Amino acid sequence: MAPRGWKPGTLKRHAGEDIVTRSNRSAVAELVVTCLSLIVVGVVLYVSVFGVFSDSYLRVGILLVGGLLVILMALQQPGGALDRVALLLTALALSLAVYQYFRAAEEIETGLYFLTATDIWMGLLGLAAVIELTRRSVGMVMAGVAGIVLAYGAFGHLAPGFLRHAGISTEELMTVLWFSFDGVFGRPMATVVSTILIFILFGALLELLAIDRVLVRLALAATGRMRSGPAAAATVASGLFGTISGSAVANVVGTGVITIPLIKKRGFSPRFAGAVESAASSGGQITPPIMGAVAFIMADVTNVPYLTICAAALVPALLYYGGLFVAISSAARNMELEQEEQPGIAFTWREMVQMGIFVLALAGIVVTMVGGASPAYAGSSAWPSRR
C-alpha cells in the first residue's frame, strides 16, 4: 500500500535529484582538487627556478594542501558515512593544527616561544591527522610505525630494561615533532618541497606524453629475438622508465599493463609475469638520474652532491638489472622455451619524436647538474615544454 501523499513518479524524481546532487558535489570536488593541484604546481615551479622563499610557509603549506588533496580524492571514492565523517574530522584537525602553527610561526622561528595548552592539543591533532593521512595514502604499515614511534616518545620512560629512555614532557615532544623543523616539517619535508616534487611533475609530464608506451615498444624491438622475449623486454622497459619516474608504483602502472600480458602469452605463468614486472620496476628507484625520494634526502643529509650519488648508483643499478636478466634467461631455459622470430617493429614519426623528447630530457638533467645547478633546477630545465 502506497504511503499517504505519495504520487506516481515521486520515487523516480527523488532518485534523479540524488544523482544530480551527487554529480554536482563531484564536480565541485574535482574543481577544488584541480585548483589545489595548480597551486602546488605553481609553487613547485617557482621554487625550482627562484629558490625557497619561506621555509615555514612552504613546508607547512604543502603539507596542508597535500593533506586536503588526499582527503578530497578519498571523498570521491565509494565509502560509508562513518568513513566520510572520519575524513572531514581529519581535514578539520589538520587545518586547526596548521592554523595554530602559523599563529606562532614568527615566535617559533626566533626560538622565544613557549607552548600553551592549546598549542599542545593542536599539535596532537596535527600528528593524528598526519598519521591518518599516511594510512590512507601509503598504508597501514607506515602509519603503524609512526604511531609506535610517537607512543614510544611519550611513554618510553615506562618501558622495561634497555628500552627505557630518560623521559620527555608533552610540551617538549610537541615542540620537536610539530612546532619546529626537526619533526614533521624537518629536512625530509624540505627535500620534498624543494627537489622531489619537481621530478614528480617531470615524470608525470613524460607519462602524459605516453613515452612509457614508446619505451615498451623500444624494449620489445631490442629483445624480441631473445629466448625470454617479453620478460626481458619488461626488464629493459622498466629500467628505461625508471630513469624518469623513480617510483616503483608508477613503473608498474606505466609498463606493466603492456608487459605482463605479453609475458604470460610467451608461456610464463601469471605469478612469474607479476614477479618479473615488480622486480624490474623496483629497480627503477635506484636507476639514475631520477631515483627515489631517499636519494634526494641522502644528498641533503650528507651534503654529498646529488650527481655524485647518481654516479655511485649507476653500477648497482646495472648489476641489479644484469642479475635480473640472468634469472629470467635461466627460467626461460628451464622451461625449454624456444627462441621465436619476432617481426620487425616500425616506429612512427610521432614515436620517434617521443623518444627524442625522452633522450633530450635525460640529457638536459645530466648536463644541467654537471654544470653545477641544483637537482631542482635541473628537473625544471629538462621539461620538454621549456625546450
Q: How confident is the model at residue 140 (pLDDT cuts 50, 70, 90)?
A: very high
Rg (CA), the chain: 25
Q: From the CB of residue 342, how many other CB atoms can be counted at a distance below 10 Å?
A: 15
| CA dihedral (137, 143, 145, 151) positive or negative | positive
Q: How confident is the model at residue 210 (pLDDT cuts 50, 70, 90)?
A: confident
Q: Burial, 207: exposed, middle or buried (Cβ in 10 Å; 0-12, 13-18, 19+)?
A: middle
- CA 262 to each of CA 203, 216, 224, 340, 346: distance values in angstroms, whole numbers, following the listed order: 25, 11, 11, 14, 18
Q: What average pLDDT does the chain have? A: 79
pTM above 0.75, yes or no: no
What pLDDT shows up at residue 342? 56
Q: How confident is the model at residue 303 (pLDDT cuts 50, 70, 90)?
A: confident
What pLDDT shows up at residue 15? 47
Residue that wins the pLDDT comparison between 238 and 43: 43
Residue that wins the pLDDT comparison between 89 and 219: 89
173 pLDDT more than 70: yes
CA distance 277 to 254: 11
Considering only CA atoms, which of 200, 308, 205, 288 is closest in space to residue 240?
288
The pLDDT of 308-323, averaged and rounded, is 87
- Tallying the residues shown for the chain, one arrives at 387
Q: How confident is the model at residue 368 (pLDDT cuts 50, 70, 90)?
A: confident
